[in-house]
Amino acid sequence: MNNVDLSVKVGPLKLRNPVMLASGTVGYGREISEFTDLNKIGGIVTKSISIKPRMGNPPQRIVETPSGMLNAIGLANVGVEAFINEKIPFLKKYDVPLICNIAASTIDEYVECTKILTGEDAIKAFEINVSCPNVKEGGLQFGNDVRAVGKVTEQVRAATEKPLIIKLSPNVSYIAEFAEVVKKEGGDAVSAINTLVGTAFDIYSRKPKIKNINGGLSGPAIKPVALAKVLEISRNVDIPVIGIGGIMSWKDVVEFMIAGASAIQVGTLNFIDPTAAGRMVDELEQYCREMNITKISGLTASYILDKE
């Protein structure tokens, strides 16, 4: 069999393969570049950037749970200016699409941040985080309100011609409604999902293990939830989906693609094994060869559902 075509399209965004690195789990790229050849990866999503630098929440900010982790980092980041001056130059050394994730407390801030960054050649797309559960302002308020998500999409769309991805919250009852409004307001794709709200207590001190009390649950525990959300969007809205949530192996990638994802992001796994995402690319190629699949993109939304 000839070479397998691993390339995928997420709306107008072309990727050499479907394996991307999720926001907040690889810093700004330098942190993981010692372990994984970034030139092999489909795309790298930055930690959420905000207009001003943010310290984030006080520690304890991360706690391990059975089959996952809780984090309440609170969007700590260097701010847009330091990102441009100190972080982008390093990433320019690599031939890997850089997707810039943006967080904000107001719609104006999302727009301002996008306008500042849109002229940067290294940035190939924007992922707008309307769904972080760990910040008091913005975050979930946006992610839970379908009209707010529509407004953010509409106004950020007017600020950039680059591919626009909106990262959705799973902490809603009907996620397809949010994907629908993103499509209507000119978004090119949605990412699903961000973390699920969770908490944990120390039984001796009776205090929350996380200073912020609530955190975002990620890792293998959330994979079935994420798959159901991807499937829900895929069955109801004609918009590309980037699948995220508990991906631990190439088999999970295939499962997400079958459920409707055009590409995927690896998050928590980067903390456990920072070499895994790079390896997945080879493993996916091997799977395609064994299954006689010439184009991996054909897997997207290839689910077979029994009719009632």
**Where along the sequence are the contacts to ligand FMN (CB under 6 A)?**
22-25, 47-48, 69, 71, 73, 75, 101, 129, 132, 167, 194-195, 218-219, 222, 244-247, 266-268
- Minimal distance, residue 137 CB to ligand FMN, in Å: 15
> Encoding tokens for residue 212?
């912020």
User: In the complex with ligand FMN, which residue's Cβ is closer, 190 or 293?
Assistant: 190
Instruction: Let me know if 113 is a catalytic residue.
Output: no
**CA torsion through residues 90, 76, 66, 287, sign:** negative
Share of the chain residues as helix, strand and coil, in percent rounded to the nearest 5? 35, 20, 45
Cα–Cα distance between 132 and 64 in angstroms, integer?
19
Closer to ligand FMN at the Cβ: 4 or 24? Answer: 24
Structure tokens at 77: 């980041």
Question: Which residue number places its CB atom closest to ligand FMN?
Answer: 24
Contact of 246 with 68, CB cutoff 8 Å: yes
Strand order through the sheet with 68-71 = 62-65, 68-71, 215-218, 196-198
Distance CA(238)–CA(8), nearest Å, equals: 16
**Contacting residues for 306 by C-beta, under 8 A, at least 6 apart:** none
CB of 40 to ligand FMN, least distance (A): 19
The least distance separating ligand FMN from the CB of residue 90, rounded to whole angstroms, comes to: 18
Residue 4 or 217: the one with the smaller Cβ distance to ligand FMN is 217
Looking at the Cβ atoms of 17 and 46, the one nearer to ligand FMN is 46
Taking each helix axis from N to C end, the angle separating 223-236 and 175-184, rounded to the nearest 10 degrees, works out to: 50
CB-nearer residue toward ligand FMN: 51 or 73? 73
Smallest distance from ligand FMN to CB 308, Å: 32
Active-site choice (100, 113, 132, 288): 132
CB of 142 to ligand FMN, least distance (A): 12
Angle between helices 223-236 and 250-258 (to 10 degrees): 30
- Catalytic site positions: 132
